[in-house]
Amino acid sequence: MDAVIRREKLIEKSKVREVFTPFSPVHKSELLSGREAEILSVISSINTPGQHALIYGNRGIGKSSLANVIAEIAKDALNYSVYIKKCSTDDSFMSIISEVLEKVVIDVRCAESVQEHSETSGAKIGVALFGLNIGSNKKKTERISHDMQFSSPSWTAKALKDKRSLLIIDEADVLNGEHEKLKLAEFIKHLSDYESLLKVLVVGISSTGRDLICNHRSVERCVHEVSLQPIGVMALKSIVEKGADKLGLFFDNDVIDDIVDVSGGYPHFVHLIALKCAEEAIFEGVKQVVSADLNKALISAAKVSEGSLKRSYEEAIKKNTENSKKVLLAASLCHPKGFLVSELVEMVNEAIDPALGKSTITSCLSRWIKNSELNVIVKIERGHYRFSDPRFMSYVKMISGFTYDKGSVVADILKHEFSKRYVSDH
């Protein structure tokens, strides 16, 4: 127990978990790598009259980090007031825009207001000498509901159009019901028509931007969609190198290359593996991160990975465990967009186990495809398959401890050959 406590104290003192942040988004532009083009694109959009922006992509690709950096730039360099709303399943259109409304002195917590006015009945007799006024005054109370106004996209757009602000709606994919998404889309449309000073940036998990704005055709013309893809090798290396510099550490080039390869282009995994490597070096009291540190780091990283990835893997290898592990690893070494059965067989036999027969390989594949609840590998078309969650490829490599060796060289050569089928897609 003493060793555990000592380790944690050393790691906490180093502030390594403030440098490599796999479990929380990046907040500072200096720590974000490889997204310069996307930042420029979004900033340009929100600075263009009538235009708004939308960022979408897979889980773990860096959407919230990008949104945070855009918020920083909009506030510090462009003088926008910035509001960030993290959505939950309980949120509605009204709850999303409530903070901005409150900033323009509209209390959305007040569901209704009370107005009183007088009604006079009876006779009035005006006598100059005595000033008599005979009659009765009655006060009438009228309750006015504001729910209808606050939940109206057109009303809220008009109320907020002159406020120079950026409203970032993060995790918009979790909003329940198409009705609330439709209201959000209509709100953006009205803001665009007004050429509003208030700009909206919608962020969420999706394969297409349309899903986040309820396929509202009229909104598409005024929303600039940015699809986040895995970032390039140099930017991924930069994450490790910048972090290492801050910590006074040095990562061997081979270690950096392996981290980048395992990550599959996902910043989350670069941060995660680099963090575990750095923690190991800090505990050992060394400045250089070597392959031995990486091997330990991959095991540690796999242990703290998302629960859904771990559960899916354990379920996938329950039957015929050792062979299932080999086939999953081979699949993770293929192209991210998918693989043919023939490619999977070749990858297994050339890079992992020459003795594993085709029937065993296809049996594993068939078992995973038929188990719809497992949802590890999906069939794209006849004979063409891919992982349902691209992050699973990185997890399989981590749990397998797959780093640079003869097998990885062969795998890279085969992957390059397989990728030629996708050249036309780029």
pLDDT at 151 (0 to 100): 78
pLDDT at 232 (0 to 100): 92
pLDDT at 102 over 80: yes
Distances 165 to 57, 99, 145, 162, 308 between C-alpha atoms, Å:
25, 12, 27, 9, 37
Q: Please give the Cα distance from 39 to 68 (Å, whole number).
A: 11
Mean pLDDT throughout 79-89?
Answer: 94
Comparing 42-46, 130-134, 146-150, 351-355, the range with the smallest average pLDDT is: 130-134
Contact (CB, 8 A) for 171 and 212:
no
pLDDT at 107 (0 to 100): 56
Pick from 50, 45, 20: which is nearest to 238 by CA? 20
Place of tokens 């005006």: 126
Q: Which residue has the higher pLDDT, 407 or 284?
A: 284
Summarised one tens digit per residue, pLDDT across range 105-120 is: 565 555 454 445 555 5
Mean pLDDT throughout 395-415?
Answer: 84
Summarised one tens digit per residue, pLDDT across range 338-374 is: 999 999 999 999 999 999 999 999 999 999 998 878 8
Comparing 14-18, 67-71, 109-113, the range with the smallest average pLDDT is: 109-113
Q: Which residue has the higher pLDDT, 403 or 417?
A: 417
pLDDT at 198 (0 to 100): 96
- Confidence label for 133 from pLDDT (cuts 50, 70 and 90): very low
Q: Please give the Cα distance from 180 to 90 (Å, whole number).
A: 11
Summarised one tens digit per residue, pLDDT across range 201-221 is: 999 999 888 888 877 778 888
Which residue intervals of 147-266 are DSSP H helices?
147-150, 153-160, 178-193, 217-220, 233-247, 253-263
Complete DSSP assignment for 278-319: HHHHHHHT-SEE-HHHHHHHHHHHHHTS-HHHHHHHHHHTSS
Comparing 32-46, 96-110, 150-164, 182-196, the range with the smallest average pLDDT is: 96-110
Comparing 130-134, 257-261, 302-306, the range with the smallest average pLDDT is: 130-134
User: Is the whole-model pTM more than 0.85?
Assistant: no
Contact (CB, 8 A) for 56 and 203:
yes
- Confidence label for 140 from pLDDT (cuts 50, 70 and 90): low
Give the chain's mean pLDDT: 86
pLDDT at 298 over 90: yes
Comparing 53-57, 108-112, 155-159, 392-396, the range with the smallest average pLDDT is: 108-112
